[in-house]
Amino acid sequence: MKCDLHIHSFYSFNDGVNSPKDIIKQAIKVGLDSIAITDHDTMNGFFKAKNYAKKLDFDLVPGIEISSREGHILGIFIEEEIPKNISAKETIEMIHTQGGLAIAAHPYDIFRKGIGDLVKKLKFDAIEIMNGRNYLANGKARKVAEELNIAVTGGSDAHIIDEIGNCYTLYKNDLYNEIKNGETRAEGNLANPY
């Protein structure tokens, strides 16, 4: 099964341009089994999409991209927003308190607030090694994930509709537990970052 774990809607301030409903339609069109709408510092996109996804029997993972002081962190399988501008360590702890999973988003992308080598010191559940807008740094993320023997994920980091599904996480049937157990794979094609 395929899940794009990193998509932005127009609820990402000055960033994404698509409605949550259009995102779900496109995800279905490109053959995804599930997605996470991970807007910057808000879960409004997820909450707006929740009923529509349910009506279509489409699996929508609760998510957010949190701007910690040290860099961006994806929080998935959570139900409440995590505040921005707190330490990465506190951010991860708050995600885990909700029973969610913390993923280092584009960790080695210096232009888009990657967390860098801090990924090696904190208790992340996974590293995003396939990011659709991360032309240069995906290889480094993959190498570090292998060194740490940590779960891997993929996400398009879509800001426009045509990017949805460019990168994705492969899983058999239980995304949450397969990430927890390091059983996922990441695949996809890179979008032009410019």
Q: pTM of the entire structure?
A: 0.95
pLDDT of residue 194: 44
Query: Are 60 and 76 a contacting pair, CB within 8 Å?
Result: no
Question: Within a 10 A sphere around the Cβ of 172, how many other Cβ atoms?
Answer: 10
Tell me the CA distances in angstroms from 11 to 42, 158, 180, one per residue in order: 7, 13, 28
In a domain, 132, yes or no: yes
In a domain, 160, yes or no: yes
Q: Give the integer Cα–Cα distance in Å for 15 and 125.
A: 26
Residue 37 has pLDDT above 50, yes or no: yes
Q: What is the pLDDT of residues 116-162, one digit of tens each?
A: 999 999 999 999 999 998 878 999 999 999 999 999 999 999 999 99
pLDDT of residue 122: 98
* Helix spans in the chain (H): 20-29, 44-55, 88-97, 138-148, 175-180
pLDDT of residue 15: 78
- The domain total for the chain is 1
In a domain, 194, yes or no: no
In a domain, 193, yes or no: no
Q: How far is CA 193 from the centre of its chain?
A: 17
In a domain, 127, yes or no: yes
Instruction: State the CATH number of the domain containing residue 142.
Output: 3.20.20.140
Q: What is the pLDDT of residues 60-99, one digit of tens each?
A: 999 999 999 999 999 999 999 999 999 999 999 999 999 9
Structural domain for 46, as ranges: 2-188
